[in-house]
Amino acid sequence: MITSPGRKINRYYENLQDQRGRDEASNRPLIEETDVVEFFKHLGFQATVYQEKLLRDKSHFVLARWSRQSGKSLAMAVAVLFNALTHKGFRAAIVAPSKRQSFKMVDKISRLLARLGREVLEGPPRKGRLVFRNGSVIEALPNNPDTVRGETLNVVVLDEFAYIEHDKELYDAIIFALSTTNGSFYGMSTPGSRDTLFYDVATDDEQFADFSRHHVSYKDALKPNGPIDPEFLEKIRRQYQTDPGRWKREMEADFADDEDAYLPLELIESCVTEGPETFTKDDVISGRLARTGKFFVGTDLAPKIDLSAVAVAEKIGRDIYLVHETAFLPGTAFSL
């Protein structure tokens, strides 16, 4: 069948008009709201005091240490969506311990779109990826430093930060992905082990002084100030009676002392004493160490990564006292 020149011209004109409409849409915000809290309300939600504090935080580095069911995922989903709708070409990545968890956050954002009452996507939504008419993209990325390192991003949300494998390597990759855009990093989680970057960021005021920290326990999120029902909370509390550390992590959003520890902190503290007579290496070399007794020497050699150490303990009666310790930097050469 031969198409007439007139139909071709009409089709070309229609395509041109569609493209012009897309270009105009890409050059303006896709929503009228210019305030993220008002946008939160437009979607049908009332922000809590702590959610509003997070939504209005303009810091480049943000840590949200919130209890379970306190509304952190919703607040973060709205914040990312608001930026995607109001900034042309905005690129956001969601990273979590598993790809499934990353998809879950993107799916939450996708379901918020139905509340807008208008079409803002360029084509149908895809699993783990949303492309908007203004060129913005929200995408779930795998927990893989090599994958993240090749991206250029405006925002990265690291969900369940405390449970990320290779967290330090991933964080380094994220920082480089944000460096050229002067972008923002959001790490959110309930606490886990103390042997994590999440713990360091939450507690080290010197190295991570640039972080804005938000701590929300279940007490802050109880109705009517938050979404947690007090009666249901009591049922959870009873189930956690035999595991107080888990309650402290999950609901108080605090670090449990004995998490992943072979020896309870209470036992370690009971072994600490004041006033043992210690000595230095110079005391031994110079001959100033005159006393005799039962001494025991222990070494831990770690030539490549960790510090090497030598410790001397003295047994006095039934008690053993640490009287000397020396640490050596990685790479120190040893000889017998």
pLDDT in tens, the chain (336 residues): 555 666 666 776 666 666 666 556 556 788 888 999 999 999 999 999 999 999 999 999 999 999 999 999 999 999 999 999 999 999 999 999 998 999 999 999 999 999 998 899 998 888 899 999 999 999 999 899 998 988 999 999 999 999 998 999 999 999 999 999 999 999 999 998 888 999 999 999 999 999 999 999 999 999 999 999 999 999 989 988 888 888 999 999 999 875 556 666 566 666 766 656 677 777 777 777 666 778 889 988 876 677 888 888 888 888 888 888 888 887 787 776
Model pTM? 0.71
Contact 119, 166 (CB under 8 A): no
Cα separation, 257 vs 286, in Å, equals 42
Backbone angles phi, psi at 217, to 5 degrees: -95, 175
| Separation of alpha carbons 231 and 238, rounded Å | 11
CA distance 91 to 87: 9
Q: What's the CA gap between 185 and 211, in Å, rounded?
A: 9
Does the CA dihedral 96-99-105-106 come out positive or negative?
positive
Please, which residues have CB within 8 angstroms of residue 160's CB and are 6 or more apart in sequence? 96, 97, 101, 188, 189
**3-state SS assignment for residue 120:** coil
Identity (one letter) of the amino acid at 229?
A: D
